[in-house]
Amino acid sequence: MHLSKLSRATIPMRSVKDRVSNQMSLEWISQPLNEASPAGDDLFETDDAAYGDYYFGAVGRLPEPGDYFRPGMEIGGNKQPDVIFDPKSVALGEELAAIDGLLKRSRDLRLLVLRAQWAMLAGDLETTVESVEATAALLEALPDAAHPKLVDGPRDRLDALNDLTQVGAMILPLRYLNLAGSGTSLRKILVTKGRYTPHDGEHDLMLDPLLKMLAEAGDEFDVVRGLIKRFFAALEQIEMACLSSDTPHKPQLRSLKDELTEILALLAEARPDLDQLDGDSDEVSGCELEVPPYAAAQASHAGHIEGGSVWVAPVTEVQSHDEARERLKAVENYFTLREPSSAALLLVTQARLLIGKSLIDAFEELMPNAVDRAVVEFTSAFDFKLARGQLRSLADHADIGAEEVADSGHSDTASGGGGIETPDLSPATFGNFKVNNPEDAKSQIAAVENFFRSVEKSSPIPLLLARAKGYIGKDFEFLMREFIPSDY
C-alpha cells in the first residue's frame, strides 16, 4: 500500500488548470451502444479477459480504512511517525484510460464507481464528481440495460452503488482533501472541534486560522463549493433513479451524503455571506446549513445622522430573553415527549440554561477542562466542549416536558396504565409557542438563534443551537460518530 508521512496527510486538490487538462469527458456514457444491446455485454458475467485483468486487480488495490491511515508504532522506546495513503501514488491517467476503454464496450455501474474511487484517492474532486454524475446519467438513460441488470433483483446493482461509501476509498480521501488549496480539510476542522484524535502534526491546529485560510482561497473556494453541491445533487439523482425503477430499490449513500453535508457546512462557516448573496442555500436538498444572517441584517437597520451613525435595535422574530426562554422550553417539551433520546434536546437545554448567564458562566459550563487557562487570545479551538458529566447533567435538566404534561392532565400511557405510549399526544406548548413536529422545533430554534446573534453577539447560545438543528433527525449511528472521537 502506498503510504507517506503525515506531513503530507492533507490530500492536495488539483489546480483548475490541471483538472481541466486531465479530465476525460463522459458525455457519451448515456448513449446506447446499439439497439439490440444498449449497454453492451456484461463483461463481468462473460468473464471477459481484459475486464477481469483490470477490474479485479484495481479493486484489490483500493485501500481499506486500516491501510489508509496507520498510527506510528512504538519501536525500541521511540514512536514511529504516523503514515497515510499518498494520493500522488495514484496514476490516475492510467486508471481512467483503462476504465473508460472498458466503459466504451460495456455501460457498467461498477466501473463508474471504481472511476470515482480512484479519482477521489488521487485528490481529483472534479473527476470524482464527473464520475458520479455519469453514474446518475446512466441510471436515468438506461435504467434496465445498465450493468449489473435488475433481472435477478437489485442486489448486485446495490452492491455496486453502495461501494461509493467505502471508507478507505471514498470517505477518508474526501475527509482529508485539501479544500481549495487552502491547507484546510474537513478532518483538520473536526480535530479542532474534538471529533477526531489528533495525528502527528495536528496537536496545534486552531479553528479560526483554518477557517481564515479557507475563506481567503479566492476562485478555488467557489470551484470547490460548486463541485461539492454537484456531488450531493448527483447522489440524490442516483437515489431517485433507483426508486423510479420498475424494481424500486435504494442504495445506502447516507454516510457519503453526511460527509458532503459537513463540508458544505464548513464552507458556510468560513464564508457565511455566500448563501445570502447568491440565494442558493436551498440548491442542495437535505443539507441543513441554514446560515444565520450576520452583518447584513444589522447593517440594514443602521441609521445615519449628519454623517454619523446611530445604532437601531435589530428587528427579530423573538422580542426578549424571556420569550427566547419560552420558545426553547416548547422545543424541549416536544423532544421530551416524542423523542427523548434526541441529541438536540441536550443542546437546546444547555442553551436555555445559559440565557442570562455571564461569559464566565458559559466558559465554566462549556470548557470545564480549559476555563482556568482562558486568556485574552482565547479562541473556540481551546477545548470548547460539553464533557460527559455535563451531558449527564443536561439530561437530568431536560425533564420539563414530563412535568408540564403531568400538570396539564395529559398522560403518556393508555387509560388504566401499562406504560404504553399513545401516538396522539397533544402539542408541546409554552405560552403561545407550539411545537408539533421536528420542523416546528427547527423553526423555534432558528428564531432564538437569530435573536441572540443580533442582540448578544458574545453569547455561545447561537453556536449550541446551530449544532442542535444539525442533530435533529439524525440516527444513533450518526450521533455515535459525532460524540465519540475517531482516529481516522
Q: What's the pLDDT score for residue 453?
A: 81
Mean pLDDT in residue range 40-58: 96
Q: Is the peptide bond before 427 cis (omega within 30 degrees of 0)?
A: no
Average pLDDT over every residue of 120-147: 96
- Give the pLDDT mean for 13-21: 43
Label residue 45 by pLDDT band (50, 70, 90): very high
- 364 versus 234: the higher-pLDDT residue is 234
**Per-residue pLDDT at 112:** 98
Asked if the model's pLDDT at residue 460 lies above 90, the reply is no
Residues 6+ apart with CB under 8 A from 4: 83, 84, 85, 86, 88, 89
The dihedrals phi and psi of 305, each to the nearest 5 degrees, come to -125, 110
Q: Is the pLDDT of residue 325 over 80?
A: yes
Stretch 302-309: mean pLDDT: 38
Residue 310 has pLDDT above 80, yes or no: no
CB atoms within 10 A of CB 391: 16
pLDDT tens figures, 214-263: 999 999 999 999 999 999 999 999 999 999 988 899 999 999 999 999 99
**Over 50: is that where the pLDDT of 87 sits?**
yes
Q: Contact at 8 Å (CB) between 249 and 143?
A: no
Which of 96-110, 197-211, 447-461, 467-481 has the weakest average pLDDT?
467-481
Phi and psi, residue 5, nearest 5°: -65, 155
In tens, the pLDDT along 170-213 reads 999 999 999 999 999 999 999 988 888 888 888 889 999 999 99
pTM comes to 0.59
Instruction: Name the average pLDDT for the chain.
Output: 78
Question: What pLDDT score does 386 carry?
Answer: 63
Structure-model confidence comparison of residues 404 and 338, the more confident one: 338
pLDDT score at 399: 55
| Rounded (10°) CA dihedral 348, 352, 353, 358 | 120
Q: What is the mean pLDDT of residues 1-17?
A: 45
* CB-based contact 107:146 (threshold 8 Å): yes
Mean pLDDT of 94-120: 97
Per-residue confidence (pLDDT) for residue 471, from 0 to 100: 82
Is the pLDDT at 128 greater than 90? The verdict is: yes
- pLDDT over 80 at 104, yes or no: yes
Position 146 scores a pLDDT of 97
The secondary structure of the chain, three-state, reads CCEEEHHHCCECCCCHHHHHHHCCCCHHHHCCCCCCCCCECCCCCCCCHHHHHHHHHHHHHCCCHHHHEECCCEECCEECCCEEECHHHCCHHHHHHHHHHHHCCECEHHHHHHHHHHHHHCCCHHHHHHHHHHHHHHHHHCCCCCECCCCCCCHHHHHHHHHHHCHHHHHHHHHHECHHHCCCCHHHHHHHCCCECCCCCCCCCCHHHHHHHHHCCCHHHHHHHHHHHHHHHHHHHHHHHHHCCCCCCCCCCHHHHHHHHHHHHHHHHHCCCHHHHHCCCCCCCCCCCCCCCCHHHHHCCCEEECCEEECCCCCCCCCCHHHHHHHHHHHHHHHHHHCCCCHHHHHHHHHHHHCCCCHHHHHHHHCCCCHHHCCCCCCCCCCCCCCHHHHHHHHHHCCHHHHHHHHHCCCCCCCCCCCCCCCCCCCEEECCEEECCHHHHHHHHHHHHHHHHHHCCCCCHHHHHHHHHHHCCCCHHHHHHHHCCECC
**Residue 384 — pLDDT band, cuts 50, 70, 90?**
low
pLDDT band at 438 (very low <50, low <70, confident <90, very high): confident
How many angstroms separate the CA atoms of 114 and 131, rounded? Answer: 9
Which has the higher per-residue pLDDT, 77 or 258? Answer: 258
Tell whether the torsion through CA atoms of 81, 82, 87 and 91 is positive or negative. positive
